[in-house]
């Protein structure tokens, strides 16, 4: 996953850098812990990612 571009929230520095990073892959979305970039990566479909974001926004 080194060749992908990871994006971090602009709010990340406001909370001590404790954030997740997201990368758009072909037909997938990857998520990782910004404090552990070499650690595990969660890979979802775009539909699963959208459902997750919508659920977070509802709460």
pLDDT band at 15 (very low <50, low <70, confident <90, very high): low
Tell me the C-alpha distance between 1 and 53, whole Å: 22
pLDDT band at 2 (very low <50, low <70, confident <90, very high): low
Q: Kindly report, residue by residue over 19-56, the tens digit of the pLDDT.
A: 889 999 999 999 999 889 899 999 999 999 999 999 99
Contact call for residues 59 and 43 (beta carbons, < 8 A): no
> Within 10 A of 43 (CB to CB), how many other CB atoms are there?
14
Q: How are strands ordered across the β-sheet holding 28-33?
A: 7-8, 20-25, 28-33, 41-44
pLDDT of residue 1: 58
């Amino acid at each position: 996953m080194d060749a992908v571009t990871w994006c971090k929230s602009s709010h990340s520095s406001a909370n001590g850098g404790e954030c997740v990073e997201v990368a758009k892959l072909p037909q997938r979305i990857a998520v990782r812990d910004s404090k552990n970039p070499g650690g595990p990566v969660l890979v979802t479909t775009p539909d699963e990612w959208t459902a997750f974001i919508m659920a977070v926004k509802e709460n």
